[in-house]
Structure 1
Amino acid sequence: MTRPEHGPAPAGPQSSAPGTRRRRGEPRTYDFRRPTKLSREHVRVLQIAQEAFARQATTVLTSMLRAGARLELVGIEQHSYDDYLATLPDTFFMVTFTIEPLAGKGLLAYPLDIAMATVDHMLGGSGAAEQPERPLTVMETTITNHLLGRLLQEFTASFAHIVQLQPELDGLEYNPQLAQAAAGSDTVMVATFTMAVGSRSGEATLVLPFSSFAAALNNAASPQLSESAQAKRRHAAEALAERLNLVPVEVGVRFTPLEVSSEDLLSLAVGDVLLLRHPSDAPLEVTTNDVTFAYAIASNHRRRLAAAIVPTPYAAQKDTA
């Protein structure tokens, strides 16, 4: 089933290949078995953190590679882990890391040729040569781990306003099906970035488990207020309640509504009689905004027609029983 896309709100899993973007209004796949868990408030909090990470990562890449580099946030979405892996090519550079003290693991992934080019740059090369499509050697892994460690430091600083983390590198993987950062059905938050190193560009993703960050996101989206702020809110609520008690409300007293056909309604003329179905011993309905909230009988007060509130008929029947 599909639904049109409206803005950057979180969505269900999608099956588009990495690097492709949907046009505005283009339908996207939505799995009703996995309802959206990321609220707009969650996305807003995550966006601030991920944009900060992208800015700092850009600085780290540029200084360590001594080349033009850029990491720019594209969007944040919700996926199941299996559906996320299905969007990746058969060979990709994937880094798993712990997110202590939270449970689970995070995952940073970007094209293998960019990973090879970063090694080339750190060894003094231009990064422009054709890069091999193979796993990193031990020496290349050591060099890359130094860069990844710096990126994790920036990740920690960017997420400090959400939760204090102590991430550690866990391992490298090149086959998406072997990168077990989460169970296949687990909901993950996927931040997509445009990544450029020198003349190379591609799509990078930062994946985090939703269940591990849920409580921290809720707290960040609704931070604890100071005592003075809480007092102001209480005073505002009391003032609002006091004003609401003075708001005029239109109230009506009516017989039980009568249903007539449209033909009879259109043929009504002066002098016609409509037979009411209201029982003679039943009270009238007291309504506001077409909602019955009390019952009354016709009466008078100081020579004016009035309605005397009586017990609800259902309550009277219950008491009699």
Structure 2
Amino acid sequence: MTRPEMPTAPSGPGPQSPAVGGRSRRGAPRTYDFRRPTKLSREHVRVLQIAQEAFARQATTVLTTMLRTGARLELLGIEQHSYDDYVATLPKPFFLSTFTIEPLAGKGLLAYPLDLAMATVDHMLGGSGAAQQPERPLTTMETTITGQLLTRLLQEFAAAFTHVADVRPVSDGIEYDPALAQAAAGSDTVMVARFTLSLGTREGAASLVLPFSSFAPALSDAASPQLSESAQRERQRAAEALSERLELVPVDVSVRFTPLEVSSEDLLSLTVGDVLLLRHPRDAPLEVTTNDVTFAHAIASNHRRRLAAAIVPTPSAVKDPA
């Protein structure tokens, strides 16, 4: 069964896959598996997009500083997959670093092409990174050097996700065969952030994978944040202070007869001694207005040798027996 496609993003090596965030042509059909319904809401995607874009900006700074070359990590889109479906999009060999996300359950996965991983080592050892990179697992020394970079990237990941969840990611291991990187069970739903990773003249597709079940409560809270008791009390105090100050704001008030309409000719011909006949009935109250809005009625009076207006019921209230 098909339905109109949601926005898609390039999925890097392997076949294209449905995306929750990203850009694509609208109207193109895609296969929809009702056994695996979409779990990421629009609100979840917005929260994730803010966090992942922040991570991409900070990671770009870390890569440029540590590798001493032009580097860029750019978010393409956010997708939902089963873990098996995601792994099937990756070529072999590939650089895959798993990490824990304490205090949340499960693991995360940071993946990018093996030649880019080798190039990072080349740059950190003072090389240009432009030479042909070997297609093999990293040596012990290369793994240690790469571990320093991964530690910095995971620190930036934690900082970018502070408004979502307080996590303390720790690198858990490196794999080169996607089938052996056991970051989740095959049927588990994962959130995949797709990136373009550029290092000097090299460019490849990178991805950051997170378990949906671990982040679902935090994403819902971040999308519809619940205020703490102290924050609620602070808002209440602010509302009371605002109401109190509003009651002290001076307001211009006018008491007027029913407005009179005259022609421009009569208005221009007025001279001293002319009389304008008001259309205001003798027994009708005057209007009490502010900013041209009538909010009460009054009758002419006096108070301590000054003219005054005594507030009276509105004409409608007098006529209404209720």
Aligned residues: 229
Q: Per-residue CA shift, 1:18-42, capped at 9, x if unaligned?
A: 9xx8544333232110001100000
| 57, 60, 68: which one aligns with 1:58 | 60
Residue 69 of structure 2 corresponds to: 67
CA distance in 2, matches of 1:177, 1:132: 21
What's the offset of the Cα at 1:230?
Answer: 8.0
Residue 90 of structure 1 corresponds to: 92
User: 2:210 matched to 1:208?
Assistant: yes
CA contact (8 A) 1:17 1:88 kept: no
Find the structure with the greater CA-based Rg.
Answer: 2
Which AA in structure 2 matches 1:182? A
User: 2:184 matched to 1:179?
Assistant: no
Which AA in structure 2 matches 1:44? R
| 227, 231, 251: which one aligns with 2:232 | 227
Which AA in structure 2 matches 1:16? Q
Seq. identity, %: 76
CA gap 1:88/1:72 in 2 versus in 1, 3 angstroms: same
RMSD: 2.5
User: 2:47 matched to 1:42?
Assistant: no
Residue 3 of structure 1 corresponds to: 3
Q: Per-residue CA shift, 1:76-119, capped at 9, x if unaligned?
A: 01000000001111211000000000000000000000000000
What's the offset of the Cα at 1:176?
Answer: 0.3
CA gap 1:215/1:230 in 2 versus in 1, 3 angstroms: farther
Residue 242 of structure 1 corresponds to: none
CA distance in 1, matches of 2:90, 2:103: 29
Where does the alignment leave 5 or more consecutive residues of structure 2 unmatched?
238-322
Q: Per-residue CA shift, 1:125-180, capped at 9, x if unaligned?
A: 11010100000000000000000000000000000111111111000000000000
Which AA in structure 2 matches 1:227? Q
CA distance in 1, matches of 2:205, 2:125: 24
Where does the alignment leave 5 or more consecutive residues of structure 1 unmatched?
233-321
CA contact (8 A) 1:15 1:83 kept: no
CA contact (8 A) 2:191 2:209 kept: yes
Q: Per-residue CA shift, 1:276-304, capped at 9, x if unaligned?
A: xxxxxxxxxxxxxxxxxxxxxxxxxxxxx
Aligned residue runs from structure 1 range 145-294, under 5 A = 145-225=147-227, 226-227=231-232
CA gap 1:199/1:143 in 2 versus in 1, 3 angstroms: same
SS at match of 1:16: coil
CA contact (8 A) 2:83 2:186 kept: yes
CA distance in 1, matches of 2:65, 2:33: 42
Residue 305 of structure 1 corresponds to: none
CA contact (8 A) 1:97 1:171 kept: yes
CA distance in 1, matches of 2:222, 2:95: 31
What's the offset of the Cα at 1:7?
Answer: 3.6
CA distance in 2, matches of 1:123, 1:30: 47
Q: Per-residue CA shift, 1:245-299, capped at 9, x if unaligned?
A: xxxxxxxxxxxxxxxxxxxxxxxxxxxxxxxxxxxxxxxxxxxxxxxxxxxxxxx
What's the offset of the Cα at 1:224?
Answer: 1.2
What's the offset of the Cα at 1:4?
Answer: 2.2
SS at match of 1:164: coil
What's the offset of the Cα at 1:213?
Answer: 0.4
Residue 311 of structure 2 corresponds to: none
What's the offset of the Cα at 1:220?
Answer: 0.5
Output the TM-score relative to the length of structure 1.
Answer: 0.67
Output the TM-score relative to the length of structure 2.
Answer: 0.67
User: Which moved further from structure 2: 108-117 or 220-229?
Assistant: 220-229
Aligned residue runs from structure 1 range 294-309, under 5 A = none
